Amino acid sequence: MRLSFTKMHAAGNDYIYVDGIERRLPYVDWPRLAVALSRRRFAVGADGIILILPSERADFRMHLFNADGSVGDMCGNGVRCVGAFAWNRGFIGVDRFGVETREGIVTVEVRPEAGELHVGADMTPPRFLRSQIPMTGDPAKEALEVRLQLLDRSVPISALRVGNPHCVIFVRDVDGIDLDSLGPMIENHEAFPERTNVEFAEVESPDRIRARVWERGSGITFSCGTGACAVAVAAMRAGRCNREVLVRMPGGNLDVRWDGEEGLFLGGRVHEVYRGSVELTAEYLLEDGNSSSGGS
């Protein structure tokens, strides 16, 4: 059995997108398949798999599996690519519509411009209480500009939830950070019971921030949509930047606006890389009705 897919990316944050709108998906061990197909150089290579499915609450639903097979709560770049996928294939006749995620319904807006697609998303609002992130400590208190113990030293961090947990650390030079070592150390820190995404950020000006990302379940990625939002919101709360900022990541630029309350916007370009198919061997197929993904 062959499985068709589309490879897409937003600012280098790439996923394997599988269409569950036009065709019923087979019963697949999606976590295991995500691990196999996400391997760089040995397979398709991606930050994970995203299933695009019907929804009873919105126009579409996305179901995300990270590169390690874990289920993702939300992906800002992923939901924007889902919007572009649906719009490109004529699944929707308007340029503004809703996508259901595990964190709620996100409204996306597609705008063609000079041969490219710009897709914006009204993101789920940021949450700051430790109980909402989640993070250990007093559940009724915030975790902005606090200190986290790492081995023999403590570092200032800002933790918040933007669709999923984030730990933002402001530094003078993001290029000097050993992300391979610090990323997994912080992701799996005991302070974060559900693990966390990690962003190191360098404020270049009130309108521009550079950032590098270690994503929970995927490792180093070229960008992260919710991560860009977390970086921007943390910087805004600390008075480090304006309410509208360009977040520069290794894979490209993302625009973030936050009104200080519930209104959080993420925007940027979206690209379809190619379409293909893979042969699903028996080890990835499940008997009818036994899929554990919730995505079939």
- The one catalytic residue among 75, 81, 167, 229: 75
Task: Give me the numbers of helices (H) and strands (E) for the chain, helices first please.
Answer: 4, 17
- The two beta strands, 71-72 and 96-101, are unpaired
- The one catalytic residue among 81, 167, 224, 229: 224
Burial class of residue 236 (count of CB atoms within 10 Å of its CB; 0-12, 13-18, 19+): buried
* CA angle (14, 15, 17) in 5-degree steps: 140
Tokens representing residue 73 in the block? 């709560």
Does 75 participate in catalysis according to the annotation? yes
DSSP 260: S
The SS3 assignment for 43 reads coil
Q: How many CA atoms lie within 13 A of 202 on its CB side?
A: 14
Does 224 participate in catalysis according to the annotation? yes
Cβ-Cβ contacts under 8 Å for 230 (sequence gap 6 or more):
126, 160, 162, 166, 168, 197, 199
Q: Which residues are catalytic?
A: 75, 224
